[in-house]
Structure 1
Amino acid sequence: MNKILTGAVAAAVSFAFVSEAAAVEWNVSLWGKRRAFTEHVEKLAELVSEKTGGEFTLNISYGGLSKNKENLDGISIGAFEMAQFCAGYHRDKNRAITVLELPFLGVSNLDEEVAVSQAVYSHPAVQEEMAQWSARLLMPSPMPQYNIVGTGEPRDQLAEFDGMRVRATGGIGQAFSAVGGVPTSVTATEAYNAMESGVVDTVAFAQHAHLAYGTINRADWWTANLNPGTVNCPVVVNIDAYEALSPEHREALDSSVDGAVGHYLENYGKLLDKWDSVLTEKNVTKVELAEGELDAFRKVAADPIREKWIADMSAQGLPAQDLYELVMATLKQQRGN
Structure 2
Amino acid sequence: MKRLTSTVCVSALTVAFATEAMATEWNVSLWGKRRAFTEHVHKLAELVEEKTDGEFTMNISYGGLSKNTENLDGISIFAFEMAQFCAGYHPDKNRAITVLELPFLGVNTLEEELAVSQAVYAHPAVANEMAQWSAQLLMPTPMPQYNLVGTGEPRDELAEFDGMRVRATGGIGRAFEAVGAVPTSMTASEVYQAMEAGVIDTASFAQHAHLSFGTINEADWWTANLNPGTVNCPVVVNMDAYDALSDAEREALDSSIPAALDHYLANYGELLARWDSVLEEKDVEKVMISEEELDKFREIAGTPTHEAWIEELSAQGLPAQELYDLVMTTLEETRASN
TM-score normalised over the length of structure 2 = 0.98
Instruction: Please name the residue that 2:275 is paired with.
Output: 275
Amino acid at match of 2:219: A
Q: Structure 2 regions of 5+ residues with no counterpart?
A: none
Distance 2:142 2:213 in 1: 18
Instruction: Please name the residue that 2:205 is paired with.
Output: 205
Distance 2:60 2:153 in 1: 41
Q: Describe how 1:1-20 pairs up with structure 2 within 5 A.
A: 1=1, 4-20=4-20
Instruction: Please name the residue that 2:329 is paired with.
Output: 329
Instruction: Please name the residue that 2:162 is paired with.
Output: 162
Q: Which aligned segments of 4 or more residues in structure 1 are displaced greater than 3 angstroms?
A: 1-7
Instruction: Please name the residue that 1:287 is paired with.
Output: 287
Structure 1 residue 18, shift from structure 2 partner: 2.1
Structure 1 counterpart SS, 2:225: coil
Distance 2:199 2:91 in 1: 23
Structure 1 counterpart SS, 2:12: helix
Note the alpha carbon deviations across 1:189-247, whole angstroms, 9 max, x for none: 00001111111100000000000000000000000000000000000000001101111
Note the alpha carbon deviations across 1:114-143, whole angstroms, 9 max, x for none: 110010001000000000000000000110
Structure 1 residue 16, shift from structure 2 partner: 1.3
Distance 1:14 1:239 in 2: 31
Distance 2:68 2:5 in 1: 54
Instruction: Please name the residue that 1:47 is paired with.
Output: 47
Distance 1:3 1:121 in 2: 60
Q: Describe how 1:1-337 pairs up with structure 2 within 5 A.
A: 1=1, 4-337=4-337
Distance 1:15 1:250 in 2: 24
Structure 2 counterpart SS, 1:116: helix
Structure 2 counterpart SS, 1:255: helix
Note the alpha carbon deviations across 1:290-337, whole angstroms, 9 max, x for none: 101000000000111100100110011100000000101111111111
Structure 1 residue 7, shift from structure 2 partner: 4.3
TM-score normalised over the length of structure 1 = 0.98
Q: What is the percent sequence identity of the aligned residues?
A: 74
Structure 2 counterpart SS, 1:29: strand
Q: Structure 1 regions of 5+ residues with no counterpart?
A: none
Note the alpha carbon deviations across 1:268-297, whole angstroms, 9 max, x for none: 000001000011111111001110100000
Amino acid at match of 2:149: V
Distance 1:297 1:69 in 2: 29
Structure 1 residue 11, shift from structure 2 partner: 2.9
Amino acid at match of 2:301: A
Distance 2:3 2:324 in 1: 71
Structure 1 residue 8, shift from structure 2 partner: 2.8
Structure 1 residue 21, shift from structure 2 partner: 1.5
Structure 1 residue 3, shift from structure 2 partner: 5.8
Distance 2:234 2:122 in 1: 12
Structure 1 counterpart SS, 2:149: strand
Structure 1 residue 13, shift from structure 2 partner: 2.7
Distance 1:58 1:117 in 2: 24
Amino acid at match of 1:36: A
Which sits farther off after the overlay, 234-243 or 11-20? 11-20
Structure 1 residue 74, shift from structure 2 partner: 0.3
Distance 1:25 1:236 in 2: 16
Structure 1 counterpart SS, 2:302: helix
Structure 1 residue 10, shift from structure 2 partner: 3.9
Structure 2 counterpart SS, 1:39: helix
Distance 2:194 2:246 in 1: 46
Which sits farther off after the overlay, 221-230 or 5-14? 5-14
Structure 1 residue 4, shift from structure 2 partner: 4.2
Distance 1:114 1:303 in 2: 22
Note the alpha carbon deviations across 1:240-271, whole angstroms, 9 max, x for none: 01101111111111111111111000000000
Structure 1 residue 15, shift from structure 2 partner: 1.6
Distance 1:151 1:52 in 2: 50
Structure 1 counterpart SS, 2:267: helix
Structure 1 residue 22, shift from structure 2 partner: 1.3
Aligned residues: 337
Structure 1 residue 6, shift from structure 2 partner: 4.8
